[in-house]
Structure 1
Amino acid sequence: MKNGFVAILKGKFLVSGDAPKNWLFLIFASFLATVMIASSHSADRKVHRLAALNEQVKELRSEFVDMRSDVQRLKLESTIRLTVAEKGLLPSETPPQKIKVKSEHP
């Protein structure tokens, strides 16, 4: 067992008679390790991008809620009265009258 471990550490399996088979396996294992590392980095990038996009969605949703409340406040009758009063328009003191038109259909 000790001799086999020492032989692996010295790299004798790379120069022995069946070395090409060992080299092919090492190249294949290196390729798989490279693919695995690249895949891991790609997944990490996607996770970070997803977190950034979720943060942006939260900010935009908050901005939407703020803008909606501002619009609702601006649509109030009291706000409209103040705005048009600055321009010299005042509400009518007499209520509107309904006009009825009688049409005769032959």
Structure 2
Amino acid sequence: MSKIKKSVYGFLRGSFLTDESAFKNWRIIIFIVGLLLIMISSSHKADIKVIKISELNKLKRELRAEYVDTGTILMRMKMESSVRKKAKDRGLMPSKTPPKKIKVTYKND
């Protein structure tokens, strides 16, 4: 067998883990596995944060729509025509005479 075939065959059999320099190989493998675990954990945490941000954006849109609806209802309630109608329902009528200005004078003693 050629040298390349022996190398590939030895790699597939896992001889790099069992020969005399295996300790150095195991340290590298354990280090790489540790890095992979950290990377997987980090990606899961990032996914959770993305989902949370999406939920908060949805809630923000709902609250903004509610705010706009409430503002519209308030503006309609403050309109003069609706105030007159509610006053009329309660038996209040607009004054037939315009209001007069009251002047207060003080006497200097």
Shorter-chain TM range is over 0.9
The aligned counterpart of 1:43 is 46
Return the match for 1:52 from 51, 55, 73. Answer: 55
Q: Deviations over 1:53-95 (max 9, x none)?
A: 1111111111111110110010011111111211111111111
Cα separation, partners in 2 of 1:48 and 1:105, compared to 1, 3 Å:
farther
Runs ≥4 residues deviating over 2 A: none
- After TM superposition, the structure 1 = structure 2 runs for residues 4-83 of structure 1, keeping only pairs within 5 Å, are 4-83=7-86
- After TM superposition, the structure 1 = structure 2 runs for residues 84-103 of structure 1, keeping only pairs within 5 Å, are 84-103=87-106
Aligned equivalents of 1:99 and 1:57: distance in 2?
A: 51
| Equivalent position amino acid for 2:18 in 1 | V
Aligned equivalents of 1:40 and 1:65: distance in 2?
A: 37
Shift, 1:105, TM fit? 4.3
Aligned equivalents of 1:58 and 1:76: distance in 2?
A: 27
For structure 1, the 5+ residue unaligned runs are none
The alignment-based identity, stated in percent, is 42
| Equivalent position amino acid for 2:62 in 1 | E
Aligned equivalents of 1:89 and 1:48: distance in 2?
A: 56
TM-score, normalising length: structure 2 = 0.90
Q: Deviations over 1:27-74 (max 9, x none)?
A: 111000000011111111111111111111111111111110110010
